[in-house]
Structures are given as structure tokens and as C-alpha cells.
Structure 1
Amino acid sequence: MSFSIVEFVKQQEPLFVGALTDQAVTWAKESQFAIQLFQKNDYLAKTAISNPTSAQNAIINVAAIGITLNPASKLAYLVPRDGSVCLDISYMGLLHLAQSAGCILWGQCKLVYENDTYESNGLDKAPTHKYNAFGERGPVVGGYCTVKTPGGDYLTEEMSLSEIKATEATSKAKNGPWKTFWEEMARKTIVKRASKYWPRTERLDNAIHVINEDEGVHSEPVMEHVPESEIMNAENARKEEVFNKAQSLCESMEASENMEDLKRYFKEAFLLTRGMKLQQNIQAVYAECKEKLEVTEA
């Protein structure tokens, strides 16, 4: 059986090389890691023999995503699941991909326990999380993932225990790693949801897709991350546009030759500046123009 597995893995070299996205991931090393995984897990090897297509796809995904099977790194594994060989990417693997692809500068994901002190400081700041690492922390009540983007923004995503459990209940892996490595799966769930708000990259998107396909998890729509600087620039541009439009309407009010035109321009300017201090200036200009017209018409 071992010989068959070795030959099978070696046959995947052309497909692996053709799908490779990260030159740091090499066939020479990854093929050996794959062979080691098959040889150490008889059930995994039997699954590959009975479903070679799934094993082939899992090996190709290693190259396409650009992640290593090196057991020392603990980033990704080949695992048997529902009669197929799947590429299982850990939460550390997702964070590693995000960092290497330039989505984030760094990131961390931690679980929060009942006896911890936890305080949320908003989505754009890291939370305050204090705990006794060597004491009794109680049961898990939730978790969070905080990352720093290349733009300098901090992004924090939090999940309650009930939200994590809801994901577990819909996963194909609920009777597998969710039973044996619950905390790791919980962290991966949090990181996956947090990644929806990070800058997008194809490698990370591919990794999330593979995880969702293999674990049968529904993927929520992605909300693209927009740096705070872009939001501020857009808001300033909008305010400038409103100011220029309001100024133009004030000039039109001053040039009005009758009350009907004056009121029409005033109404448009008043609605445009609703809720803004600028509206006071609009009202002052209108009052002045109205007074002049009343004198003229008299």
C-alpha cells in the first residue's frame, strides 16, 4: 500500500507545478510531507486509494493556495472526511496566508473564557483581554480575531459561543475535528468570519473556498474592507460637493428677480444642507434676498 501511495503522490508533480502560486512552496518538500501524512495515517491512505480524485485535488490545492503541509508549521493537513481526502487549513494557516499575501501585517485569534476579563473597544481597536494563563479560566464564552491592515487600521471581529456553535452544527466536520480539536476549529471559524472584512487576495479567497467546500459551511457575502483614510477622503469630497452646490444655489437666490424663483432655490438649498451648520447660512442668505425683493416689489 505504501508503495502505491508513494507512486500516486509522485504522479501529481505536473499538476502541482502547474497550479503553484508561491515559489516558496516546492514540490520536492510538499511531496515528501504528503507521503509522510499518508504513511502515518492508514485510514487516510485507504481513503486516497478509494477516492484518488479527492486526494489529487487536495494536493493540487496545496499548490494553488500556496501553503505548506510541513507538520512543524501546523498550517495545513491532509485529512480523511466523508470518504474523501481534504486539505484542512488551520486558523494559523489562514492568518499566515493573509500575512504572506499582504492582506494584513499581523493578526491574532483568541478564545475568551468565563473567568477572563474582556472588554470590547470597538471594531477598529484591539479589545482589552486579561486572564490568568495558568489558572482556572472556566468554559469558553466566545472569541475574537484582531488584525492590523497595511493601511494601519485595526480590525476586530468577535463571535459569541452560540455563534460558534451554530457554525459547528452545520459543518460536515462536526463529528470529526470539532469533536477532537474544538478550540482550534472555533478559532478557525472566527478567523474565517473576520477575513470577510480584510483586503481581498485570491490566495486567501481560495483557501476560504476550499475550507467551506470541504466542511460544508455556508459562505456569507463578503464585505470588502475599506481603509479609514479612504472613508475620510470620500466624506470630505462629499462635503465639498455639498458646499459648492450650496454656494451656487445662494448665488442663484441673490440673482433671483422674483419671489417664486427665490423660494425654489431656497427649498433646494435647504434640503441639501439638512442637518448641517451650513443651513444657517442658507437661511440668512434667503432672509436677506427676501427682504430685498419685498422692498423692490413694494
Structure 2
Amino acid sequence: MGQLAQATAGQQLQPLNTMNDMHQLIASHRKQIESVMSGALTADRLYGLLQSAVSREPKLLQCTPESIVACCMKCSTLGLEPSSVDGLGKAYILPYGNKNLASGRPEATFILGYKGMLDLARRSGELKSITVTAAFDGDGIELMMGQDGEPWLTEMPINLDASHDPANLRFVFLCAKFTNGGSHAEYMTKSEIDAVRARSKAGNAGPWKTDYVAMAKKTIIRRAFPYLPIDTQAQKAAVADETTPTYSFLARPADSIEGE
């Protein structure tokens, strides 16, 4: 496949079939991409993130090129690299989006990970601590309700021999303490978590399938976000979770830059 066609207001980028096609995509739209990048990310670094994402999820090459680049750009803007890069499950780029009406190809989906949500929550500097606990059958963790209506966990010895199989999850519990002395605590039962999973586009694949407990923890963090002293960027990231970020910047004409 030759040099990728330039995207204009009424056109789609050519489909990708190989990582070489991906490299050409970055090269031919380098100016638009660099104009919206933040921090230390470069076009070459973006290509590295794309390589890592595709090596983890080869089906991404079936998605629209615009959506793949946009998801990687979202990761870079938030400073959360795809999980195949850092192994911490901070963010995922998955081929489980809506069909693009013009091309009929799927669009890549941006999904925040559990540790990515924690990272975003802590950036405001107004959280003294935030912990998320997963309780399983037989582990000795019990949930109590205080007179003020705020839940709390009993301080009991934990049974380390209890099975932490996702099927044995009972609930997840979040406790956040603020630097001003305030706090917020809440819990979600497994049935509530499964209801959220059922509404997810990637509910039967990706991290929901491979890292269920981590996604359960992420779910309660996202639910608690409106009650936490976090910055606007974190709030927007929570809203953008499990969507295809905008890629309108790729529709602007730009000078072609040949790939290396």
C-alpha cells in the first residue's frame, strides 16, 4: 500500500493493514497530531504507543485509522499509557466501538483502567488518601452502616485462604479522605457492578473479561467521581470513558511528510 491519502473534511483515511500503514498515517498527519499533543509526547512516541496497542489487540487494525490515533492521543493527553506499555492497566484501546457510518469499519474505544482512575483522582492534590477494597465470600470483610448513613468496613482478621475468584466477589468499597478533613465512602454490590458491565460496549471482552475485579474497582471510583475534589481534566476523562474520542483534527488538510 502506498502513501496514505490525506484526510479532508469530506473524506475518510485509507484503511490500515500493517504497522507500516500506521507509520505512514502518523507521518502524513504529523503536523495536525503534533498541534494537539501535550507534554513530552512526540509523533515517534505516539507511533510507539500505537505499536504497543496493536500488538496487544491486533484487531485494532480493522478499526478506522482516525479512531485508533484519537484513542492514543487521549491516552497521551491524560498521561496514561495503554496497559500493554506499563502493565498497570491504566488505560486500554480496544476494537469494540460503534460502526463508522461512512466506512462500515468499527471504531476503536478508549477505556480507562482502575489504576488510571486512581491516578486521575489523586492529581488534584486534595485527596489525603483513597482506597478501594474488594470483598469476597469467606474473607472476613464485613460492611457496616454508621449512624450518619456512611458505610464502613469492620476491622476483622482477613482470611487469606479465601478464594478471590471473581465469581466470589460480594461487593467493592471505596473510602476517600480529603486534605480539608472531609471524607466520602460508598459501596457497590456485585449485582450493581454486573449491571454496569451489561451496559458496557466491551462488557464481554477486554478488561471486563480478563481483569473483572479491577474493572469492578474502577466502576465504583467512577461512580464516586462527582463527590471527590478532582480537577476538570479528570471529570472529562470519566465522561469520555468507553467512547471514541473526537478526531476532527485529522480532517484538516496538512502538508504531507514522508515516512521514515
TM-score (norm 1): 0.61
Aligned 1:179-258 pairs, distance under 5 A: 179-213=209-243
Determine whether 1:63 maps to 2:52.
no
Whether the aligned pair in 2 keeps the contact of 1:108 and 1:145 (CA below 8 Å) is: yes
Aligned 1:5-84 pairs, distance under 5 A: 5-11=22-28, 13-20=30-37, 23=39, 26-27=41-42, 28-47=44-63, 51-69=64-82, 70-82=85-97, 83-84=106-107
Q: What is the aligned-residue RMSD (CA, Å)?
A: 2.7
Larger radius of gyration: 1
Partner AA of 1:78 in structure 2: I
**Distance apart, 1:143 and its partner CA:** 0.7
Tell me the secondary structure at the aligned position of residue 95 of structure 1: helix
CA 1:118–1:166 in 2, change beyond 3 Å: closer, same or farther? same
**Distance apart, 1:65 and its partner CA:** 2.8
Structure 1 alignment gaps of length 5 or more: 215-298
CA 1:155–1:13 in 2, change beyond 3 Å: closer, same or farther? farther
Q: Residues of 2 paired with 1:13 and 1:201: CA distance?
A: 30
CA 1:29–1:159 in 2, change beyond 3 Å: closer, same or farther? same
Whether the aligned pair in 1 keeps the contact of 2:175 and 2:184 (CA below 8 Å) is: yes
Q: Residues of 2 paired with 1:15 and 1:76: CA distance?
A: 23
Q: Residues of 2 paired with 1:86 and 1:101: CA distance?
A: 26
Aligned length: 209
CA 1:126–1:102 in 2, change beyond 3 Å: closer, same or farther? farther
Partner AA of 2:41 in structure 1: T
User: Identity percentage over the alignment?
Assistant: 21
Counterpart position of 1:270? none
CA 1:11–1:154 in 2, change beyond 3 Å: closer, same or farther? farther
1:259-283 deviations in whole A, cap 9, x for unaligned? Answer: xxxxxxxxxxxxxxxxxxxxxxxxx
Counterpart position of 2:194? 165
Q: Residues of 2 paired with 1:67 and 1:112: CA distance?
A: 27
1:239-276 deviations in whole A, cap 9, x for unaligned? Answer: xxxxxxxxxxxxxxxxxxxxxxxxxxxxxxxxxxxxxx
TM-score (norm 2): 0.69
Determine whether 1:99 maps to 2:122.
yes
Whether the aligned pair in 2 keeps the contact of 1:17 and 1:63 (CA below 8 Å) is: no
CA 1:137–1:39 in 2, change beyond 3 Å: closer, same or farther? closer
Q: Residues of 1 paired with 2:126 and 2:32: CA distance?
A: 27
**Distance apart, 1:142 and its partner CA:** 0.9
Partner AA of 1:32 in structure 2: G
Counterpart position of 2:112? 89
Whether the aligned pair in 2 keeps the contact of 1:124 and 1:154 (CA below 8 Å) is: no
Tell me the secondary structure at the aligned position of residue 132 of structure 2: strand
- Pick the aligned partner of 1:132 from 159, 167, 171: 159
User: Bigger CA drift: 126-135 or 67-76?
Assistant: 126-135
Partner AA of 1:157 in structure 2: E
